[in-house]
Chain A
Amino acid sequence: MNIAGTFFDGRTLRTTPVTLTVVDGQTLRVQGAELDLCYDLRAIRLSDRLGRLPRYLYLPDEATVACGDDDQLDAAFATLHPARPHARLIHFLESHSAIATVAAVLLVLLTAGIFHFGLPILTRHTAARTPAAIERKAGELALATFDARFTASTLNQAGRARVRNQLARLLPTHEAAALPRLVHRSFGPGNANALALPGGIIIVADELVAIATDDELAAVLAHEIGHLENRHGLQSILQSSLALLVVTAITGDLSTLTTFSATLPLLILTNGYSRDFEREADEYAHALLLRRGVRLKHFATVLQKLEQTAGPARRQNYLSTHPSTADRIRQFQPHADPPAPPAAGKPAAKSPAFSDRVKALSRPPDAIPPVDATEAELTLAYTPYVNPTTPASIVAQRRVYDFPKFETPPAVLRSTPVNYPLNMKRLKREGTALVDFVVDRGGDVRTAYVVEASNEAFAKAAIAAVEQWKFRPAQSHGQAVNAHLRQPIQFTLDDATPTPAP
């Protein structure tokens, strides 16, 4: 083997063209003008292949030979001095465009995967390791930023006591100092909201306290406690700044975390927590409410209430900052449609499946022995009131109406609340009533009758209320037409007084 190369003596910048030969398998002979040297092959280091760079043989006496012939060199060195396998492998990988393309794709996928999967895990891990003092400080800073946007609360002591009681009800084993701190603020009209901040702070809007019953308050508080337990506030802060997260995770230095907590209020107000965080909080609330014996449906009902009070703007409303309301309602109402509370929204259009669903709802309540109940009252309470066929008088009255198909169903304009029969309340009896009626062209309710009800008292109360309702009539081709509707009305007892504090 004869390889041409250039010899550098390592002491000057002089260069000499030389020829390399391998003598008896283990000596390298370097020959050139005025140069004839022999070196042991084992003492020579050969540079790895890299692209099309020249190869260098590093000779033991600081001299170097540069040459270009790759294959002959490797062949010469193969037996005594094999190129390290990893260097050959890397060079092989670097030499083929196909491999490079695959590597590029892999790199992109890997980076995206790390961000998509690794990031949540990293934030959760870092948030869990944050000491409570830093979390509290972050919460204080976030609260200070919030206070710039909201006005002081006008809630009286009774209202505050209500909220406090519900919180204590949810967390009975917590000492007073360990309970989350309740902060009351006024968010402005129509903005009913509750927010959880790191460090165990729950902000409750006066507007929310005004429209929610005690159980509904408990449901909302349970959801916010879910945010606190999972440290979603901290995780949001960390996620909002990738750099912060990486630095914090690597160095474990959390002091900069507090400076970023000022971003949290804005985050929550504009986007709310992420859907994953909301789902986690909902699951936590679900479990907590079950444990404490609060009916799950109250969460759904409060959401519906908020739906109504929200109005078109919906800024900073509980619903806008807590996305995907319909899914959440469904989660808390697994078996039936959301039943319309007495102050209901649009009544359902006539559909056959409705009566089946209503039947499912009117199941007999748990056997609670009533107090001081006479035989007559009990009979009244537990005798269902049914009209299997439409009463003849109603049929006669309805002859004057025609019911063409409508595109727009009637919409309720004013719905008076249904009075809960006092004797039923005393007996702690709940029930339902299904009212069948007609909405005429003027939007008034005509020829209402009860199809079926849990008992007569409920039927009477239902009719009395429905007859006072006012609708926007059904529309067909731009004209008001009559509509025939059925509306289920549910009577349920709340555990505490439903009237909000004035």
Chain B
Amino acid sequence: MEDPPPFPPKSDAPNSQPDPLGPPPLASAGSLDVATSVEPPPPLSAAPADAPAPFGESPPPTEVPWDSLPPVIPPPVPPSPPAPTPEPFIFHGNAREYFRIWIVNTLLTLVTVGVFSAWAKVRKRRYLRGCTELLGHRFDYRARPARLLIGNLIVVTFFLAYSVFGVVYPPVRYGVIGLGVLLLPWIVVRSLAFNAHHTAYRGLRFRFHPSLSNSTMVYLLEPLLLVVTLGFYYPAWTRSKRSYVVANHRLGDAYFRFNAPVGVYYGAYVLGGIMFVAGVVIGTSIVTVTTVAHNGQPPGPWIMVLVFALYGLGFLVAKNFIHAWLFNHVWNHTTLDEHRFVATLSISRWLGLQLGNFAAIIATAGLLYPWAVIRTQRYTASCLHFIPSGPIECIQKLGGTTGSATGDTAAEFIGLDFGL
């Protein structure tokens, strides 16, 4: 399952989702504990100070009648603030508009053999984020394509060196791969920082503060745990990645926090696994039955096509089921200081949406891809709500450094998903 991008930057993949931020439940700010008990004032001791009371004896308390006490007026209780209203994310994107943008940019990228890809990526991201509105204002993606281009060139040089030197001296290849693996945490950090820095809401930039040791832990050491446990650690690793990404983002001086329990991750993956296995089992049993019916002859091509379609369907259903369930779980447990998020994605509707997208893209050889993206973004935004627990204008800026472009493109080139 891919890690969704840190809130709010959204990538233009159809399966992306806004950052999951969890619910921080915050103690309701309204109620004050008012002491309402009235106690009689402590009795005045009649014994003189220099004459210690005889041991074991205490003077009898002075009786104070109730009526002589002044009435106690409880302090005024401030009116409880209105219940926080969930503010929706509104997506203004238009499929036709985005198709035009996407097709022109893709054609130009192809014609320029990839040189234009930096501009294309910036434009597409800018459009998708710029069409997302919260509380009356939209998000702004303001990266400079030239920096991405420089990053692209560096990565391309890297690969050329790999192939050229690799031909001359093959062991260089292993060294380069090893270097790439070691650099992975740094690449992740830089690309997240770059994207966060260049995304702004109401003029205030987001920040991702890089912590290389944490990144190394999550992206280098935990995969070892994955190998050791033969894959059982995978749901926990997904959670760990998300936690790392979310918890290190901030908007001004408001920090994002993530506190989702890991059990739901395991539940989601187990159920998804069952769905996929069910698909495989059905497909295999079809093959077995037809083979037996034909006395040992393998089934014809149409049956095989059906079986592979079943496998693919099982995989798609499992993947999207996991995605939808975890989306809700993750966003419900993400908070921005004391503000929280609520996600209400419907699994069945999401499945229908994704399967429809898949069919459309296959049928049109990819030309309907932008339409699928817009559909997904619109539905995702409609399922997510932001619940501010107070005015958000008080969020202020903190200092920080900018990210670099190289990490961003390296991430794209290698094809790993860092939730960008």
Choose among A6, A50, A53 the residue that contacts B137 (Cβ–Cβ < 8 A): A6
Judged by a CB distance under 8 angstroms, whether B394 is at the interface is yes
Given A13-B202, A63-B203, A100-B100, residue A110 in contact with residue B110 (CB < 8 A): yes
Q: Which residues of A contact B164 (CB under 8 A)?
A: 252
Q: Does B308 reach chain A (CB closer than 8 Å)?
A: no
A93: chain B residues within 8 A (beta carbon): 104
Does B126 contact A64, Cβ atoms closer than 8 Å?
Answer: no
Q: Which residues of B contact A253 (CB under 8 A)?
A: 163, 166, 173
Chain A CB within 10 Å, residue with most, of B107, B126, B162? B107
CB <8 Å contact, B130 and A90: no
In the complex, how many angstroms separate the beta carbon of B415 from the nearest chain A beta carbon?
Answer: 12
**Are A11 and B167 in contact (CB-based, < 8 A)?**
no
**Mask of B153-179 contacts with A, CB within 8 angstroms, 1/0:** 000000100111011000001000000
A189 within 8 A of B: no
Q: Does A498 belong to the interface (CB within 8 Å)? A: no
Contact across chains for B96 and A252 when beta carbons are under 8 A apart? no
Chain B: which residue is nearest A90 at the CB level? B104
Residues of B within 8 Å of A63, CB to CB, are: 203
Report the count of interface residues on B (CB-CB < 8 A): 47
Interface class of chain A by DSSP:
mixed
Are B163 and A250 touching (Cβ within 8 A)?
yes
Contacts of A90 in B (CB 8 A): 104-105, 108, 119, 123
Chain A stretch 61-87: residues in CB contact (< 8 A) with chain B: 62-64, 66
Bound CA span A50–B164, Å: 40
Whether B110 pairs with A107 at a CB distance below 8 angstroms is yes
Nearest A-chain residue to B129, judged by Cβ: A53
Q: How far is the CB of B102 from chain A (nearest CB, A)?
A: 9
> How distant is the Cα of A100 from the Cα of B137 in the complex, in angstroms?
29
Contacts of B166 in A (CB 8 A): 251-253
Alpha-carbon distance A95/B103, docked complex (angstroms) = 11
* Least Cβ–Cβ distance between A49 and chain B, in angstroms: 11
Please name all residues of chain B whose beta carbon is closer than 8 Å to the beta carbon of A15 when the two chains form the complex. 137, 202, 393
* Contact of B12 with A by CB under 8 A: no
The answer, yes or no, to whether A14 is at the interface (CB within 8 Å) is yes
- Complex Cα spacing A50 to B252, Å: 27
Measured between alpha carbons, how far is A490 from B110 in the docked complex, in Å? 61
Docked pose: A9 CA to B200 CA in angstroms = 12
A56 at the interface (CB under 8 A from B): yes
B203 engages A64 (CB within 8 Å): yes
Q: Which of A425-442 contact B (CB under 8 A)?
A: none
Q: Give B365's nearest chain A residue, CB to CB.
A: A108
Closest to A63 in B: B203
Cβ of A308 within 8 Å of any chain B Cβ, yes or no, is: no
Give the CA-CA distance A121 to B345 in the complex, in Å.
49
Contact B103–A103 (Cβ < 8 Å):
yes
CB pair A252–B163 under 8 Å, yes or no, is yes
B103, A10: Cβ atoms closer than 8 Å: no
Shortest B419–chain A CB gap in Å is 24
Binary interface profile of A, 95-124, with partner B (CB < 8 Å = 1, else 0)?
111011001101110110000000000000
Q: Report Cα–Cα, A66/B252, bound state, in Å.
A: 19
Contact B140 A13 (CB under 8 A): no
**Is B106 among interface residues, defined by CB-CB distance under 8 A?**
yes
CB–CB B204/A13 < 8 A: yes
Contact of B319 with A by CB under 8 A: no
Q: Which residues of B contact A250 (CB under 8 A)?
A: 159, 163
Query: Assuming A6-B137, A253-B173, is B159 touching A50 (CB within 8 A)?
Result: no
Knowing A12-B204, A97-B100, A100-B100, the reply to whether A54 touches B138 (Cβ < 8 A) is yes
Chain B residues whose C-beta falls within 8 Å of the C-beta of A251 in the assembled complex = 159, 162-163, 166
The answer to whether B80 has its CB under 8 Å from any CB of chain A is no
A318 interface residue (CB < 8 Å to B): no
In the bound complex, CA of A11 to CA of B110 (Å): 40
Q: A13-B201, A13-B393 are in contact. Are A53 and B130 (CB under 8 A)?
A: yes
Query: Is B97 in the interface zone, CB < 8 Å from A?
Result: yes
In whole Å, how far is B276's beta carbon from the nearest beta carbon of chain A?
23
Interface residues of A in 160-203 (CB under 8 A from B): none
Q: How far is the CB of A144 from chain B (nearest CB, A)?
A: 23
Least Cβ–Cβ distance between A167 and chain B, in angstroms: 33
Task: Flag whether B13 is at the interface (Cβ < 8 A).
Answer: no
Contact, CB under 8 Å: B201 / A100: no
Given A106-B107, A253-B173, A10 contacting B204 (CB threshold 8 A): yes
**B106 A107 Cβ-Cβ under 8 A:** yes
Query: CB distance B367 to A108 under 8 Å?
Result: yes
A10: chain B residues within 8 A (beta carbon): 203-205, 397
Within the assembled complex, what's the spacing in Å between the Cα atoms of A96 and B252? 39
Query: Are the C-beta atoms of B203 and A9 separated by less than 8 Å?
Result: yes
In the complex, which residue of chain A has the Cβ closest to the Cβ of B96?
A97
B393 touches A14 (CB 8 A): yes
A491 within 8 A of B: no
**Assuming A11-B396, A13-B392, A108-B365, is B163 touching A56 (CB within 8 A)?**
no
A-B contact pairs, 6 of them (CB 8 A): A8-B202, A11-B397, A103-B107, A108-B367, A251-B163, A253-B173
Given contacts A47-B142, A250-B159, 4 further A-B contacts (CB under 8 A): A14-B202, A103-B104, A110-B111, A251-B166
